[in-house]
Chains A and B, each alone.
Chain A
Amino acid sequence: MQQEFHEIFVKYHEIITLGVYGTAIGLMLIGLYAVLMKKNLVKIVIGLSIMDAGLHLLFIGIGYVQGGTAPIFSPGYEDAGDRMVDPVPQALVLTAIVIGFAVTAVALSLIIRLYKHHHTAKIDQIKSLKW
């Protein structure tokens, strides 16, 4: 099973890479669209999250090495040094996900607060601070 996947990966490596990158960038653009165009606060936050997700995907994609293994020196994989996927992006993405989570949490709490005060979640109606 694993072998099959591996072969498929090797075979369609470029397509998959392209797909991953494309998906990542697409996600980011979708997120961006949501952030810039959607009026609803929640949707904006969702957009932010999608954007983050796209970015994370991009990270992972970049860290991928063709036919890579987990970046762990374990028995049977002593020679895996060349084939290891880059561990750093993964570590970074982990951190970034956590941060993104925190941001989303704070954002949602703020939205609740805003909704309480303004009775709306439309961003263009929440403009008491201006000029």
Chain B
Amino acid sequence: MINDKDSQKIVDYIQNFSRKHSLFVMAYGTGCGAIEIPATMTSRYDAERFGIRGAATPRQADVLLITGYLATKTLKRVIRVYEQMQEPKYVIGFGSCTINGGMYYDSYNTINALEQYIPVDVYINGCMPRPESVISGFIKLQELIQQGKADNGKRYRENLEWYRANQKKIIKNWKMPDYNW
């Protein structure tokens, strides 16, 4: 008879394995990076072989893919989508813009660092990152998941106040429902 801890370990392993191999992507095509997604998904690069497939609604999605620069106007929607996703959930920042604003670093209406507003698991560098790097980013995420290090939702919950404060700096007319899921 295996003890609880061991069985928990096995369960965790199975769960993580299946999570890793079944990534439903909510591709939030905010910027120009969205153009790379079809290429990634279709015949040539075929992300589905890793279990990556698109999800139509945040309810079903595991991964939020922010493809490129994020306008301040869009941030509200992204936050909303992110909050509606169900844990465990992961965020991939796609392209330089999500890291430091990229070529929009001094734009008045573009946020620079995505991480200030929602926790990010994996960044994919490049402007644009090619499908290969996108897939390598996903594989990195899979590794994190397998190791149990991808705790995006937990981080957000625990540091909610900080994130909220940052978000509210950008979003002036805050009329969002409270984070309760």
- Answer whether A and B touch in the complex at a CB cut-off of 8 Å: no
Chain A residues within 8 Å of B, Cβ to Cβ: none
Chain B residues within 8 Å of A, Cβ to Cβ: none
